[in-house]
Amino acid sequence: MKNLLIPVLAFILITALGTALHADEEDGGARFGIQMSSDSFAGVLFYSRTFEAGLKATVHLYDDATDALGDLLYGGHLAYLFRAGGDSSTVSVGVEAGSYLGDISYAQYIDVGLRVGFNHRLGEHVLLSGLLYPLFISTRELESAGGFSLVATIPKAAVAVAYLF
């Protein structure tokens, strides 16, 4: 499943990127930016008139960590944008997914969920987003005989601020 997910998401992203790059410049065109969110993730954002995509990461450091990096949680999102109330506001609907890199050896570590965003441009460069995850699922399976867990979070929310270049 994981091997199929990456090519499908890459195809969707490349198709949407081609559409966004051909947007009229007077309609805003495509913009890159950096984004910070209240769920402690930071990343890069691609924001256009029709869709947005982001890559994000956060690091958890522990006092007793044996390595310098700690645990790296990374992920991304892809969402289609709908105009709401003029050019400065959009509603985004899409998916978010993430995984883990660290000392613990997982056979499976997947976070995935539906993502609804309420975006508002504050001037030329600042984008404020309220994010709602109506359903967010996390799976964990250790490679050792540690077991399997599946957690569904209903709902989950965050706030994010992006600076667009």
What is the C-alpha separation between 76 and 20, in angstroms, rounded?
18
pTM: 0.80
Asked if 45 contacts 162 with a C-beta cutoff of 8 angstroms, the reply is yes
Asked if 48 contacts 38 with a C-beta cutoff of 8 angstroms, the reply is no
| pLDDT tens column, 36-82 | 999 899 999 999 888 999 999 998 877 765 655 678 899 999 999 99
| Higher-confidence position of 119 and 21 | 119
What is the C-alpha separation between 6 and 49, in angstroms, rounded?
24
Q: What are the extents of the domains in the chain?
A: 2-164
pLDDT band at 9 (very low <50, low <70, confident <90, very high): low
Q: Which segments of the chain are extended strands (E)?
A: 31-37, 42-47, 51-60, 71-83, 89-101, 106-122, 126-133, 136-142, 148-153, 156-164
Q: What CATH number should be reported for the domain whose range is 2-164?
A: 2.40.160
